[in-house]
Amino acid sequence: MAFYEALAVPDCVILLAEDSFRSKLVIRNTADFISELDKILIGWTSECNNEWRYLRTLCKTELFSGKVLESQACLREKKVMELVEFLRSKEGRVVNLGELVFATVFNMLSNVMISKDMVNLEKETEEDGGMKSLIRGIIEVDISDFYPILGKFDLQGLHKKSIDLMTKIRSKWEAILDERRNSRESGSSSQHDFLETLLDNGFTNDRIHHQENWSSLLECSIYNKFPFNPVKELLSAGTDTSTSTIEWAMAELIKNVESMKKVQDELETKLSESDYPKESQLLQMSYVQACVKETLRLHPPAPLLLPHHAIETCQVINYTIPKDAQILVNVWAIGRDPLIWEEPEMFRPQRFLSSGMDFKGNDFEFLPSGTGRRICQACPWLQ
Ligand code: HEM
């Protein structure tokens, strides 16, 4: 059994597997990178400064508290039912499940954020303005986000593409903001969404857009690819992670007939008495929950988490972690470590049935949502 140690460096937690340290932790000097990240985004800011703390608290109370999540359950259930109805209407025809799940998750989140569907299940329409491909473009991973030294070579040709994308997205968001401000001014806005919370809390358009930094941000490698306001950041953080988990779960279940049968049996038994699936019923579906965990073990949507940074030099076992090192925790490798997991490459949901292990960041062998103070904001509450 590998020995794992959690080291609380201020600002981050480093996880070590004693015997295979190097393969699970990548460290590099990032002084330049860090100076770029002093601007404000929840997930990509290097510092747990006041702005980060403020946004994180705002998200916690307004989006992810038990009470808020419960009050929004019917909205998510409605979106799931729309997807089911849509699939029913396509019976016997080929559908792209990944695209449909992406649109469903995106609309779940956009309704919470701005009380609107932003993409159409059937195809991209004039109304959604091609939002789906814009968001897909933003979350395309740029290798230089993890290895900034490669940034100047723009190996994937993403630099120019990102600037075009961000300009388009910005103009769409300006229209949404203007519309909302106008309806607030005329007293006709009755929305209770996250955008309303931001406006109630005094967020100006400039602050929402980080307008004052706009031109300088375009110069820097990370910022020109990532959304500049909390609404957009949450939309992109939540959509691809959830979609990839659902796509991988379906792919694994299609390959593993026995597991698929168990899922179908559980769904049939637990859902037999209701007209439509309710989130509260998920609590009784232990096998479905085990499948989600097993999917996240094998296919974590953020295999290296987000980059962490050591704010002071420290010693971990025999290794010196230098001040300003950027730390990438390879949770993909940890999730497949043969010293921890029996038959690690196999999809075996039953391993979670008796283990009590979850993704709240307390079990260092299984960290799909990270751990410590920078743990995913949404995951610990999604049990
Ligand atoms: C399957 C679903 C998801 C997975 C596996 C996941 C995973 C992660 C991971 C690994 C991190 C970085 C943690 C670290 O570096 O220590 C993260 C951060 C974050 N996630 Fe998620 N995520 C998911 C869904 C969501 C959703 C639905 C939202 C919001 C609607 C969200 C919002 C965030 C935010 C705001 C952060 C940054 C937190 C901070 O740095 O303070 N995530 N997530």
* Residue 231 confidence (pLDDT) above 80: no
**Both tokens assigned to 368:** 């799909």
The pLDDT tens digits for 323-341 are 988 888 999 999 999 999 9
Average pLDDT in the chain: 76
Model ipTM?
0.97
**Residues 4-40: tens digit of each pLDDT:** 333 333 333 444 444 444 445 554 443 333 333 334 4
Residue 15, by phi and psi: left (phi above 0), alpha (psi -120 to 50) or beta? beta
pLDDT of residue 177: 83
Range 336-349 burial, b when 16+ CB lie within 10 A, else e: ebeebbeeeeebbb
Instruction: Tally Cβ neighbours within 10 Å of residue 274.
Output: 10
Whether 374 lines ligand 1, by a CB cut-off of 6 Å, is yes
Cβ neighbour number for residue 48 with a 10 Å cutoff? 15
The CA distance from 128 to 350, in Å, is 41
100 lines ligand 1 (CB under 6 A): no
Q: Is the CB of 55 under 6 A from ligand 1?
A: no
Q: Give percent of the chain with pLDDT exceeding 90.
A: 31
Compute CA distances 305 → 137, 228, 284, whole Å. 20, 20, 30
Query: Does the beta carbon of 243 lie inside 6 Å of ligand 1?
Result: no
Residue 306: the pLDDT is 86
Task: Pick the most confident of 35-44, 172-181, 211-220.
Answer: 172-181
The CB of 221 under 6 Å from ligand 1? The reply is no
- Bigger pLDDT: 26 vs 194: 194
| Gap from CA of 377 to ligand 1 centroid (Å) | 6
C-alpha 68/C-alpha 247 separation (Å) is: 27
- 195: how many CB neighbours lie within 10 A of its CB? 23
Cβ-based neighbours of 117, under 8 Å, separated by 6 or more? 107, 110, 111, 128
Question: Residue 192's pLDDT band (boundaries 50, 70, 90)?
Answer: confident
Q: What is the pLDDT of residues 107-130, one digit of tens each?
A: 998 898 888 888 888 764 444 555
CA-proximal residue: ligand 1, atom 3 (nearest): 241
pLDDT at site 166: 66
| Of 248, 203, 194, 223, nearest in space to 64 by CA | 194
Residue 376 annotated as part of some ligand binding site: yes
Residue 142 has pLDDT above 60, yes or no: no
Q: How far is the C-alpha of 182 from the C-alpha of 174, rounded, in Å?
A: 12
What's the confidence (pLDDT) of residue 228?
43
Cα-to-centroid distance, 232 and ligand 1 (Å): 14
What pLDDT is attached to residue 32?
39
In ligand 1, which atom is closest to the CA atom of 301?
5
Residue nearest to atom 1 of ligand 1 (CA): 242
111 lines ligand 1 (CB under 6 A): no
